[in-house]
Amino acid sequence: MTAHLPPVLAGFYGHGAVFPVVVLGAAGTWWQPVLTGLPDNNPGTVLALRWSGPDTEEPAAPALLTTAAARAPELPANGPQIARYAQTLPAHIRLVTLTQDVLIGRWDQRPGQGAANINRP
């Protein structure tokens, strides 16, 4: 469990909806065995929790992501630790890897929320 919880960020693939995400760690700080169904551990990626639920439940997403991040194993973590953690995640929260360019700023300053501008993390 981490003492300092990361902020909820906004992610965007370039099309579709902006989604809330919490970054758990950079690639190289966790281990992924081959063919386990866990997210890839490639250079330039981050291990993250991503909200994938319906829009109607999105207001609860930041709190759910923060709670799930608080239960994350200490990094560096091994494959079995990450797999056990992934199995305990609530509905609509997925353990994924993202490239840094997908992260567009803080969730509370995402496009459409009245923010003057979005600063990249």
Number of domains in the chain: 1
CA distance 72 to 88: 10
Give a yes or no: residue 114 inside a domain.
Answer: no
The rounded radius of gyration (Å) of the Cα atoms in the chain is: 14
Give a yes or no: residue 88 inside a domain.
Answer: yes
Helices (H), 35-107: 61-70, 79-87
CB 52 within 8 A of CB 18: no
Q: Over the stretch 10-36, which tens digit does the pLDDT of each residue have?
A: 999 888 789 999 998 865 555 554 444
Q: Which pLDDT value is given to residue 114? A: 54
The structure's pTM equals 0.77
Give a yes or no: residue 2 inside a domain.
Answer: no
Work out the average pLDDT over 81-109: 90
Res 69 pLDDT > 90: yes
Q: Kindly report the number of other CB atoms within 10 A of residue 50's CB atom.
A: 20
Give a yes or no: residue 111 inside a domain.
Answer: no
Range of the structural domain that residue 82 is part of: 22-99
Q: Which pLDDT value is given to residue 120? A: 40
Q: Which pLDDT value is given to residue 44? A: 63
